[in-house]
Chains A and B, each alone.
Chain A
Amino acid sequence: MDNAIYVGLSRQILLERELDIAANNLANVDTVGFKFETMIDNADPAVTPAPGANAPATTITYVAGAGVARDFTEGSLIQTGAMLDVAIEGRGFFQINTANGPRYTRDGRFRTDPSGRLVTQDGDSVDGGGGDIVLDPKKGRATISPNGVISQQGEVVAHLQVVNFDSLAALSKDGNNNYRNDSNLTPTASTTAQVRQGMLETSNVEPIRQITRLIEINRAYDAISNMMNTTAQLSASAVQRLGAVNPA
């Protein structure tokens, strides 16, 4: 009898977590290069011992979270006109070198620091294939070609590297729009991705889908609460009826 409540609880705990994920997706609806996430649910069967000699053992299926899946669909590209805004078209990441080691990002809002290094908004240098990218302030506007060649006044200055991983599941999110590589996979230079100067990739969160998800989560939570109430009432009335002494 009590198992029904625990099955419901396992689902409710997961629904709260799903709400946290939907909330994070919606909070980042306007974050450059953000990729939305969804929770994957798994059936978690548990075999309970047979209640009596003649009754078979039953299987109760709880709900468990299998993981958070990240959807790497490309967000739409918007034009900003800023010289050092770069978007990636196709699969891949910019590699940036932070104090804590290399990080990967699709957020291409770059700027330069006083020494002319190409850095992210947080001041971490952008990797140009084994080193920093340094621009010459006196040469003026930098042009970035679709295959990542940065030139100033017609001279090639550096190469903006786009790297990719065989399995994106190995990446974990690190905040600040960065991904961390915790696996032993090594990034390889992407041959198919192209970069677009003066553009940014918007968040790929689809608001309608997330709002619908909110409603689903809310209603599912309600429904389970009702089920728990019904179960509780059942056991209450069972106790009452069985415990009542027949007056006849």
Chain B
Amino acid sequence: MQALRTAATGMAAQQLNVEVISNNIANMNTVGFKRQSAVFEDLLYQTYEQPGAQSSDQGNVVPTGVQIGAGVKAGSVYRITGQGTLTNTGNAFDLALNGQGYFQVLLPSGETAYTRAGNFSTNAQGQIVTADGYLVQPSITIPANSTNITISQTGQVQATVGGAAAPTVVGQLTLATFFNDAGLDAQGNNLFKESAASGPPTVGNPGQPGFGVVLQGYTEASNVDPVSEITNLIVAQRAYEMNSKVVSTADQMLSTAVTTKS
């Protein structure tokens, strides 16, 4: 019976849906996290009677045909890259991005990764690093005896060095944008890598057309909306239950068929 297999595809799809939703809820408080959504597509259809086929020699046409689908499959799990809310932290090296773009991070392997989690700090050499200690690119070193570090909306880093009257510019942050940032390859630790789907990065200063601005003293919270995630969870669970009802109905019908012979 096809119905058994069809219902199984439905249950498998909802299981994937629950996995995606649970990952979103688990990362509700992860800085810079972007929620994901599983999308489903119907499977191939078996055609028993072609729509538009002729049903007689007089040219009568079957109006609808008979096509029966084989269930559902997971099309893709895509990232919804909407802006997260900005949270004030007061920390001078906490940077939030408002608008498009990613900070560039140099991995120990020499590759460049991209992140929106701007909870940075400085290392022993005074370089700006991520929470994992990876260098933020382009590398910016804060002089040892500097105070009053300010990072402007356009990414200019200024510091007052050694009690000087005027602040000096110590570096300029740049951002990378991707045309299809939903296609970035997630690496964990809030990091992403360029992929064939995302396209190459376009690097520019914050505040330029198409680039977001940097806000010092803020971090970007995840864009997970708990209420919609819980609602999705309820929908997924009910859909799973309904598919299991199909399995039990098909099973009962098969058992009826088996026990028909008296």
Contacts and interface: CB of A to CB of B under 8 A. Distances in A.
Contacts of A114: 179-180, 183, 196-200
B200 to A, nearest CB: 8
A107 B198 CA distance: 22
B134 interface: no
B140 interface: no
Interface centre among A139, A176, A232 (most CB of B within 10 A): A176
A20 B6 contact: yes
B34 to A, nearest CB: 11
A30 B3 contact: no
B225 to A, nearest CB: 9
Contacts of A229: 260, 262
Interface of B: 1-4, 6-7, 9-10, 13-14, 17, 37, 39-45, 47-52, 62-72, 75-76, 78, 80-82, 100, 177-180, 182-183, 196-200, 202, 209-210, 235-236, 238-239, 242-243, 245-246, 249-250, 252-253, 256-257, 259-262
A27 B13 contact: yes
A67 B65 contact: yes
A169 B64 CA distance: 5
5 contacts: A17-B66, A19-B250, A31-B42, A65-B48, A176-B41
B262 A232 contact: yes
Contacts of B63: 67, 169
A229 B41 CA distance: 42
Interface string A138-150: 1110000000000
Nearest to B244: A26
B213 to A, nearest CB: 13
A182 B63 CA distance: 12
Contacts of B243: 23, 26-27
Interface stretch (A45-53, A125-133, A217-225): A217-225
A98 interface: no
Contact of A137 (B50, B65, B66, B179): B179
A103 interface: no
Contacts of B235: 30
A214 interface: yes
Contacts, number: 216
A63 interface: no
B68 A17 contact: yes
B66 A67 contact: yes
Contact of A26 (B10, B40, B260): B10
- Secondary structure of the B contact surface, majority rule: mixed
Contacts of A183: 51-52
A211 B80 contact: no
Given A32-B40, A68-B66, A27 B45 contact: no
A30 B64 contact: no
A156 interface: no
B10 A137 contact: no
A29 B179 contact: no
Contacts of B10: 23, 26-29
A148 to B, nearest CB: 21
Given A26-B246, A68-B66, A140-B100, 18 more contacts: A16-B3, A17-B68, A19-B249, A20-B2, A23-B7, A23-B71, A24-B69, A26-B7, A27-B7, A29-B10, A30-B239, A122-B75, A138-B202, A138-B210, A173-B45, A176-B75, A182-B51, A229-B262
B260 A225 contact: yes
A137 B76 CA distance: 22
Nearest to A27: B10
B45 A31 contact: no
A113 B178 CA distance: 11
Given A70-B64, A138-B209, A27 B6 contact: yes
B39 A175 contact: no
B53 to A, nearest CB: 9
A228 B256 CA distance: 11
A98 to B, nearest CB: 13
A106 to B, nearest CB: 12
